[in-house]
Amino acid sequence: MLGSTRGIDDNINFYRDVHKKALTVIGAHEACRPQKEESHIMKTIKTDDTVSLNFIAQKRLEMNMLISEVFEPANAQSAYDRLFERDPLLMLVAFKWAKE
């Protein structure tokens, strides 16, 4: 999980939904990440990106179930506009690059 529980959220009661249930939440605060790989404990965002892409390539991280819609490259502007506008129907979009 990435984020902070210090803010106010109308949809989540962190005491009732997390603390009272004694759930363990492992997360990170993105702003404190180093720009350069200086520590074996705290990795950079680039390192995370590389690991994530490797997991996807190795099929250890399944992304297909997250794809909301597949777009033709000619419709890229529409996809980006809808993502920018936070269209609630979109979680992750994909582009169909290969011709069948």
Mean pLDDT by 10 residues, the chain (100 residues): 59 78 73 69 78 91 89 95 92 86
SS3 string, 6-73, reads CCCCCCCCHHHHHHCCCCCCCCECHHHCCCCCCCCCCCCHHHHHHHHHHHHHCCCCCCHHHEEEEECH
pTM: 0.47
Q: Supply the pLDDT for residue 4.
A: 57
Q: Supply the pLDDT for residue 28.
A: 61
